[in-house]
Structure 1
Amino acid sequence: MLKEILLGIIIIFSVCIMILSLLMSPHSNSFSGALVGSSDLDLFKVSKERGFRKFTKWAMFICGLLFLTLALIIRLL
């Protein structure tokens, strides 16, 4: 019973991660630009996120951490 509840919660977190990654995609640099050596990539530039961008970054981090924790708990049960 507990395993099924945790599985339902992990599915909710996975959907949240997918939605957050779609919301973050316009702000990230493209992967293809990194492959071909585009000069407009600022991969190691220190930048401060503000507002919605900061919220999505931290929400993605927290959802990912909770997803990983729940996956480990389910595996141990």
Structure 2
Amino acid sequence: MSSDTHNTYLTTDQLSARIHYTPRTIRNELLDCCLIEGRHYIRPFGRRKILFIWAAIESDMLSAEHDALSLAQPE
């Protein structure tokens, strides 16, 4: 399987280590505000456990940084 079609799924603790937010902050502040079910995370088999989709999260984080930088540039 090529890396383009392979998603990396992360637990809350693994995502926490990558983005340097506590698991509690991810669950209480980012979930359903910045991280949207179906785009950034899934609940496999309809269960409570959440798996985060790293490619979508990383893409949106980089896009948001780019948007913020372009807004800060003088015209």
TM over 0.5: no
Which TM-score band applies after superposition, normalised by the shorter structure? Answer: 0.3 to 0.5
Structure with larger Rg:
1
Higher strand share: 2
Higher helix share: 1
